[in-house]
Amino acid sequence: MIEKIAVLGAGQMGNGIAHVAALAGCQVELIDISEGQLQKAEAAITANLDRQLKKILLPSLNGKMRKPIFLIRQS
């Protein structure tokens, strides 16, 4: 099983890939040249995860669900 991934580019597609990978249990490193884009991506991913949790779109994993780990850095 893949445990860590890096996503290059924090635009709409990159933050979507990072989001789905985190939901699958991967540690995600999101890399972009723009600090502003990284901040937008982090805010979007956090908002989407929070929304999914509130609407109970994420299945209960009997306590196995952990907060996704994102390492966000500018390259």
User: What are 14-63's pLDDT values in tens digits?
Assistant: 999 999 888 888 888 999 999 899 999 989 988 888 888 777 655 554 44
Question: What is the C-alpha separation between 34 and 23, in angstroms, rounded?
Answer: 24
Whether the per-residue pLDDT at 69 is higher than 60: the answer is no
Question: What is the C-alpha separation between 27 and 61, in angstroms, rounded?
Answer: 17
Structural domains in the chain plus CATH codes:
4-74 (3.40.50.720)
Of the CA atoms within 13 Å of residue 24, those in its CB half-sphere come to: 13
pLDDT at 75: 67
pLDDT at 48: 87
Q: In what order do the strands lie in the sheet with 70-74?
A: 4-8, 27-32, 70-74
